[in-house]
């Protein structure tokens, strides 16, 4: 009776031993003998190893080895990575901490690939034309573009002027992506000096962003030049076109200006 009882209890799931740690452990060390043992003679017993043959040098510790990138499928738009449904390859730690844990992505297993295949056509999710488009929109909306025009020669503002000004500031913007205000701006007109307007930049024919611009007159003759103003972007100015005033007011200011205002408050 006792025996049968014992077997019954021992077979119960509570008492059964299971492997608690199911995770894979990387405990492989690749070693090399410091003194390789000599070859043994054919047909003879191998020579006994000496203690010097048991001294090893570490070739590789697989625990500290750099792991390969892993593939994940994004479930929503991630700045600098991609849109929902995109399969991206990222560093494992970044994937675990920044994407998988917050639920921004899932592992790219065959089941998940199939499950999230229709995500790319989901119209509810926010979509950007590219992974960097969001950053570009952010940057452009906060900048102040200095439009340097001549003080002597007559000019009328055209998209290529804006493109050149963008390029000088380190932004590559093609001419067809720039939309000027409908009202023509022409000069030289010292009333327009240091006054603001905005142009609309279209990124990849999709995202539209308004960029704050400020006119500055520049003379070839040094004596004619307008004196330098330190941190001119921190000084608030008026719109060139009165109709643009409400939009200019609602647009985000350059970061420094915001900081300065907060400090003063």
Partner 1 sequence: MVIKCSVSNVCLESHNLAFEWYWVLVIGACPTFINILNYNMSLFATRCVRPFFFHHYTLETSSFVQIRGYAARKGTRERKRKAKVKSVVEKVGFIPHNQRDKEKFLANRKQRKVDDSWKGDPTDDVYVAKYFKWKVYPFGEAVQCHRETHHPDMYNQPNANLHVSIELDMQGEKKTRFLDNFTRIVATPHRFDHGEERAVIAFCKDPDLQQSAVEAGAQLSGGVELIKQIQNGQVSLQDFNFVVAHPEILPELVALRGLMKRKFPNPKAGTLDVDLATLVKKFMYGINYTAVKDEYEKDFGIIETVIGTLNMDAKHLEENYVALIKDVYTMKPRRTGEFFRRCLLWSPPSQEKLKVDHESYLDIPKKQEVEEDDDKDSKEDRIAL
Under the binding rule (CB under 8 A), the answer on residue 168 touching partner 1 is yes
| Nearer to partner 1 (CB atom), residue 28 or residue 219 | 219
Under the binding rule (CB under 8 A), the answer on residue 232 touching partner 1 is no
Under the binding rule (CB under 8 A), the answer on residue 42 touching partner 1 is no
Under the binding rule (CB under 8 A), the answer on residue 200 touching partner 1 is no
Under the binding rule (CB under 8 A), the answer on residue 153 touching partner 1 is yes
**Closest-CA residue to 166 (of 117, 190, 199):** 199
Please state, as a whole number, how many other Cβ atoms lie within 10 Å of the Cβ of residue 77: 19
Among the listed ranges 48-56, 112-120, 195-203, 238-246, the one in contact with partner 1 (CB under 8 A) is 195-203
Which single residue is written with the structure tokens 């050149």? 164
Q: How far is CA 231 from CA 144, 256, 260, in A?
A: 12, 10, 12
Contact assessment for residue 196 and residue 239, using Cβ atoms and an 8 Å cutoff:
yes
SS3 53: helix
| Closest distance of CB 154 from partner 1, Å | 8
**Closest-CA residue to 182 (of 234, 241, 123):** 241
Q: How far is CA 141 from CA 83, 132, 192, in A?
A: 21, 14, 22
- Write the binding mask 46 to 75 for partner 1: x where contact by CB under 8 A, - elsewhere: ------------------------------
Q: Contact positions toward partner 1, by CB under 8 A?
A: 129-133, 135-136, 139-140, 148-150, 152-153, 155, 160-161, 164, 167-168, 170-174, 177, 201-204, 218, 220
């Amino acid at each position: 009776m006792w025996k049968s009882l014992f077997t019954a209890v021992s077979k119960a799931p509570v008492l059964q031993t299971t492997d608690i740690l199911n995770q894979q452990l990387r405990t492989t060390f690749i070693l090399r003998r410091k003194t390789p043992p000599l070859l043994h003679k054919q047909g003879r017993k191998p020579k006994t190893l000496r203690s010097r043959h048991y001294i090893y040098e570490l070739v590789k510790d697989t625990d500290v080895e750099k792991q390969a990138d892993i593939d994940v499928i994004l479930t929503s738009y991630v700045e600098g990575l991609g849109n929902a449904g995109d399969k991206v390859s990222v560093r494992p730690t970044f994937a675990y901490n920044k994407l998988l844990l917050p639920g921004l992505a899932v592992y790219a297993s065959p089941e998940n690939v199939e499950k999230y295949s229709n995500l790319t056509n989901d119209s509810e999710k926010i979509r950007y034309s590219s992974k960097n488009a969001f950053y570009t929109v952010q940057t452009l909306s906060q900048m102040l573009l200095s439009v340097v025009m001549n003080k002597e020669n007559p000019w009328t503002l055209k998209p290529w002027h804006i493109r050149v000004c963008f390029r000088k500031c380190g932004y590559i913007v093609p001419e067809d992506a720039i939309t000027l205000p409908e009202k023509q701006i022409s000069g030289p007109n010292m009333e327009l000096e240091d006054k603001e307007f905005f142009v609309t930049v279209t990124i990849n024919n999709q995202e539209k962003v308004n960029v704050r611009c400020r006119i500055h007159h520049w003379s070839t003759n040094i004596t004619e030049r307008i004196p330098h103003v330190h941190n001119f972007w921190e000084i608030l100015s008026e719109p060139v076109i009165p109709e643009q005033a409400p939009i200019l007011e609602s647009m985000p200011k350059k970061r420094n200006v915001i900081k300065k205002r907060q400090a003063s408050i």
